[in-house]
Amino acid sequence: MRLGSGRHGDASAEQSARDVYASGSRMAVKRMAGSVEVLGRYSNLSDQGERLRYLLEIVPEGRNELDVRPPKQAQRRLSLGEIDRLKRSYQAGVTLKNLAHDFDIHRTTAAELLKRAGIPRRRKGLSDDQLEQAIRKYEAGDSTATIGASLGFSAETVRTTLMRQGIQIRKRRGWT
């Protein structure tokens, strides 16, 4: 099907072209020496060709200058000296989160570097005093969320710690 001249300034043609584009019509479009050949599944597409011509005119020729892909993450490789400094800092008590920020790497990268160096991870958890306090509060009826907020931990950390201590966890309110 060869297309005739289109109504380029017509608002209804522009809206129709947008409708065709938004509907995701499955058609193969080939550019051939100034004309457009449209191969489709349906033969009675009324002004479908006109809509496609409009779309082809508003799409720039060649490669699109705008790259819509997200930028690639820059890979940060630490030197041997930096890795040594990272290990010493961790052993001195600096958290993984702070190390990651200081060395401009991801937290899991810092953890992996420490693992490769044979340095065991510190597990952040409730101290003995905090555990006793959490058990008292939970048995008094406080929620794990309330306890966690007061001690600086997540509700899940409090819940799993209580479960490890053999404390029976109550069902959540509203849950059957």
Q: Residues 68-122: pLDDT tens digits?
A: 777 777 788 899 999 999 999 999 988 888 999 999 999 999 999 999 999 998 8
- Global pTM reads 0.40
Is residue 134 predicted with pLDDT exceeding 60?
Answer: yes
Tell me the residue length of the chain. Answer: 176
Among candidates 46, 55, 60, which has minimal Cα distance to 14? 55
**Chain-centroid distance, C-alpha 164:** 33
Is residue 49 predicted with pLDDT exceeding 80?
Answer: no
Confidence band, pLDDT 50/70/90 cuts, at residue 57: confident
- CA–CA gap between residue 103 and residue 73 (Å, rounded): 15
